[in-house]
Amino acid sequence: MIAAKRAADTLLLLIVMVLAWQALHQAVGATALPAPIPTFAYLAKFLPSARFGESAWATLVSFFYALLLSYAIGLAIGVWMGFHRLSGAVGEPILISLYTLPKVTLYPVVLLIFGLSVAGRVTFGAMHGVLPVALLTMNAIRNIPPVYLKSSQALHLSKWQVIATVLLPATLPEVVAGLRIGFTLTLLGVLLAEMFAAKHGLGSLIINAMQLLQGEEMVSVALVLFAFAALANALLLFIEHRLHRRV
Amino acid sequence: MTRVGWIRLIVIAAAVAALEAACRLGLIDHHVVIPPSEMAQALVRLLISGQDDGQIARTFGIVIVAIAISVAGGFALGVVIHALPRVRRALDPFFATYYAVPIFIFYPVLIVLFGLSVMPIVLMGVATAIVAMVIATLNGLDRVPRVLGKVARVHRMGAMATALRLKLPAAAPYLFTGVKLAVSYAFIGVIASEFILAPAGLGRVISDAYTDFNNPRMYALMLLLVIVATAVNMILHVFDQRWAQRRGIGKP
């Protein structure tokens, strides 16, 4: 019942957004912003095309490696700073100020180091994703109630048993929250890198479409990315809520 | 300063020194990264010469305008949405997804709409910042203790007085969190937009300096942005801590 109501609300929201889009189109004209229906028609033709496939694949590959790096490095830093109190106390403010820094500023440095390669885009994506993963993992470990560890000592659990049956379940919901934000920001980083300077990927496709004044293609790519990000976020949010309820 | 503070300072100083040494010893090519001391020198020279003052003023001006619009507009929207539960429920999925979507993909759309001017950049700054303020306002209003409403009734306070003297102070810490987020998001929104495509501004100048291989200029302006962004965030953080302490929930 609640789920049905919520789905209805989401649907309502989408309808209102499409109507607002149509209204904006009427206000500014077709060259500036194409109408929804022609755009969806274009999207249907554009999605199976090879040009879209190549770009999407390029973005997906960069994003996959960037995400792998974000998660591996972020989790490693988070676990280390969570268990080692002093490192955590020293490092947390540094991580937070790096987190709030507009990292686009540093993209030219990445470009100078890696050139216009996949490695540069992967690095830049990972720069965005590492910090939230590290910060939330660290907090998750710090917030484990000490009584959990004491009771596992009282039960004479082995080290691996403690990890598998106490630490992992206790930290998982918050760690997954970190992974979700890391996912979002890594995607943002990869796309920004592609928009700033790249010959491949969906980000460069949008910029090209803008320069050629191909409104339909520009909005189509934006819609695809919007849908991808929103769906992935909803899925991870769902997992997160499930984990929270279980604890 | 505390012991942890000293260690932190030493860690940062060591990192900068290591970079300096690596550059001086030729481990890092001069065409890639210049030594931090040269970045600082270049920045000082740039600020004294005043050649980029216009660009600096432009970018920080846009950031300030975007922050002002986001904070005022976000607060107003938050108050309105809080008063309309039905609208709020419909908007919930929107708020949950908003920051998950890389909204910069809509920047080209704004450029086509408004042309290559200040307008799309301001809008991008507002778009990244305002929703954080709306969410913070909703949060703050949700957490106004019920008893305050009763106190107001007992004292026969008017709606205005209740809002200004009871609800606003009760929600203030959450509103401040919103302001803090809005400030750092506005910075990111404006500077990222300038990087991607803009007629002028610091982001544009840095990306031009990159294309021209003008490393001293590029690194000087990067340093400036990093210093300003970090300083602003630190000041806001200190205020936040003070407030929390005064209400007795902060770290001593």
Select from A13, A33, A230 the Cβ nearest to the Cβ of B100. A230
Q: What percent of chain A is predicted at pLDDT more than 70?
A: 98
Contact present, A93 and B226 (Cβ < 8 Å): no
Cα–Cα dist A36/A49, whole Å: 20
**pLDDT at position A116:** 82
Q: Decide if B107 contacts A27 (C-beta within 8 A).
A: no
| Closest chain A residue to B226, measured at CA | A101
Q: What is the pLDDT of residue B248?
A: 62
pTM: 0.87
- Among candidates A90, A221, A226 on the partner chain, residue whose Cβ is nearest the Cβ of B8: A90
Give how far A141 is from chain B: nearest CA, Å.
19
Q: Write the pLDDT tens digit of every residue in A54-73.
A: 999 999 999 999 999 999 99
- pLDDT-derived band of residue A247, with 50, 70 and 90 as boundaries? low
Domain B53-246 has CATH 1.10.3720.10: yes
Closest of A222, A157, A245, A124 to residue B107, by C-alpha = A222
Contact A13, B90 (CB under 8 A): yes
Asked if the model's pLDDT at residue A134 lies above 60, the reply is yes
For the ranges A77-81, A132-136, A154-158, the lowest mean pLDDT is seen at: A154-158
Residue in chain A nearest B185 by alpha carbon: A100
Report the top-level CATH class of A56-246. Answer: mainly alpha
Q: How far is A160 from chain B (nearest CA, A)?
A: 32
* DSSP assignment of B157-205: --HHHHIIIIIHHHHHHHHHHHHHHHHHHHHHHHHHHHHHS-SSSHHHH
Question: Where do the domains of chain B lie?
Answer: 53-246
Q: For B67-124, how does the pLDDT look when each residue is reduced to its tens digit (9 = 90+)?
A: 999 999 999 999 999 988 888 888 888 887 888 888 888 888 888 888 888 999 999 9
ipTM above 0.90, yes or no: no
Please state which of the ranges A4-8, A86-90, A224-228, A238-242 shows the lowest mean pLDDT. A4-8
At A96 the pLDDT is 86
Rg of chain B, C-alpha, whole Å: 22
The answer to whether the CB atoms of B92 and A222 lie below 8 A apart is no
Write down the mean pLDDT value for chain A: 88
Q: Which residue do the tokens 């300038």 mark?
A: B194
Cα–Cα distance, A190 to A64 (Å, whole number): 10
Residue B251, pLDDT score = 47
What's the mean pLDDT in A11-33?
Answer: 84
User: What secondary structure letter does DSSP report for A165?
Assistant: I
Interchain contact, A104 vs B32, CB within 8 Å: no
Q: From CA B68, how far away is CA A177, in angstroms rounded?
A: 30
Report the share of chain A in percent with pLDDT over 90: 30
Residues of chain A with Cβ-Cβ distance to B218 below 8 Å are 108
User: Has residue A30 got a pLDDT over 80?
Assistant: no
Tens of pLDDT along chain B (252 residues) come to 788 889 989 999 999 999 999 988 888 888 888 899 999 999 999 999 988 888 999 999 999 999 999 999 999 999 999 988 888 888 888 887 888 888 888 888 888 888 888 999 999 999 999 999 999 999 888 888 888 888 888 888 887 788 888 888 888 888 998 999 999 899 989 998 998 888 888 989 998 998 888 888 999 999 999 999 889 988 988 888 887 777 765 444
Nearest to A196 among B4, B12, B196 (CB): B196
Domain ranges of chain A: 1-25+34-46, 56-246
